[in-house]
Copies of this chain bind each other. A is one copy, B any other.
Amino acid sequence: MSSNGSRRRDITVADVAKAANVSKAQAARALGNYGAVSEDVRERVLAAAEELSYRPNELARSMNTGKSNTIGVVVGDIENPHFGLATRGITDTAKKSGFNVILINTDEERTAEVDAVQVLLDKRVDGLIVAPASSSDTEHLQRVQDSGRPLVLLDRTADGLQIDTVTVEMTGVAYESTRYLIEAGHRRIAFISTLKSAVPYSEGVQLDSSQIAERVNGMRRAFLESGLTLPEDLVRFNAGDAESIRNITREVLLMPDPATAVVASDGLIALSVVEAIQELNLSIPEDVSFLMYDDFAWTRLTNPPLTVIAQPVYEMGVAAAEALVRQIEGRKPAAVTPMFTARLIRRNSVGVPRKSGAPSEPTPIR
């Protein structure tokens, strides 16, 4: 015995047609604004529709147009401002082209991602944008391609698949920023990332994320070209929750030959790393230099302001959505998806390492 009784049936074209004294077909034409309709009929139908406050059922409409005007977006974690911003770019752009967005979070879980893609496909979205958790585990993406539905990848590539992908070229900045650290005197540079990996890093292990792979490669090259070698023991994975990040940070900072600089591979990691550094009563950049990926507003507010690698996240969201819409509308995808570049923004969290005999008053270098 619910309060408002049975759920009232929605008004349909048939209802409107009856009220306007015309056939269903005519009503549909007047409402859908297609075909030939006399002025008289059009007016009566529109009036009746208004009167009954008729609203078309988009589900029904989608069913026989085959278009749902909806795109699916699969990301690892909207809570992460990185994705928040990208999502903003996607939704803004999608809206402009008349598309709505179904958003699914995967927590960077493979199975959740596979499910998400399937659900979206089942819902017959017009296309999907996926930030894949893994670059190698890609059957589900392959399936999307097979289904013929437009797909654009964001942030990370998928090995061996021919898919429009919007990414940042990372090797370059990784190289540049590592050179920067090396020139400041750092040799023991730690890199902390969320990437899940069963084995510790060493040359040749296949990394499951194109993004991370590029960053590490850039670092490696910088060391190489300086006649040095990348300290592989400081390249760390599995930095999941705050606790594990804290542990990793303590580890690299307290080991016998500790890191003198730490690079956090995203904004969320950075938060916990900085906290851990503060807990150890170390100060930046006097005791440890710090550098992070993602330029969030708060990085300018800390003391010192943090040196970051800025990525055009919003623009990438926009580009991904544009590429997808282009595919949906049947235009060929841009021959080559534009490659974005990241930028090193030198603020004051990088200094001269203690060990290397720096002056007692370590000036942040620029």
Contacts and interface: CB of A to CB of B under 8 A. Distances in A.
Contacts of A227: none
Q: Chain A binding site: helix, strand, loop or mixed by DSSP?
A: mixed
Given A84-B79, A298-B301, A303-B302, A57 B124 contact: yes
Given A84-B84, A102-B101, A122 B78 contact: no
Interface string A111-147: 0000000110111100000000000000000000001
A301 B275 contact: yes
A364 interface: no
B123 A103 contact: no
Interface stretch (A60-68, A151-159, A258-266): A60-68
Interface string A70-101: 10000001110100110110011001000011
A341 B185 CA distance: 50
Contacts of A4: 148
A78 B313 CA distance: 14
A288 to B, nearest CB: 14
B84 A78 contact: yes
Interface string A1-20: 01110011010000000000
A271 B79 contact: no
A148 B8 contact: yes
A326 interface: no
A29 B285 CA distance: 67
Contacts of A62: 59
Contacts of A58: 122-124
* A-side interface size class: 35 or more
A326 to B, nearest CB: 13
Contact of A88 (B2, B79, B95): B79
Contacts of A81: 79, 81, 84
A68 B62 CA distance: 13
A162 to B, nearest CB: 10
Given A105-B92, A302-B301, A122 B56 contact: yes
B330 A301 contact: no
A102 B100 contact: yes
A332 B1 CA distance: 10
21 contacts: A2-B330, A4-B148, A7-B148, A8-B148, A58-B124, A59-B62, A59-B63, A59-B68, A59-B123, A78-B87, A91-B103, A95-B104, A101-B102, A102-B102, A103-B103, A271-B297, A271-B298, A271-B301, A274-B301, A301-B302, A303-B303
Given A59-B62, A100-B104, 6 more contacts: A8-B148, A55-B121, A57-B63, A92-B105, A271-B301, A302-B302
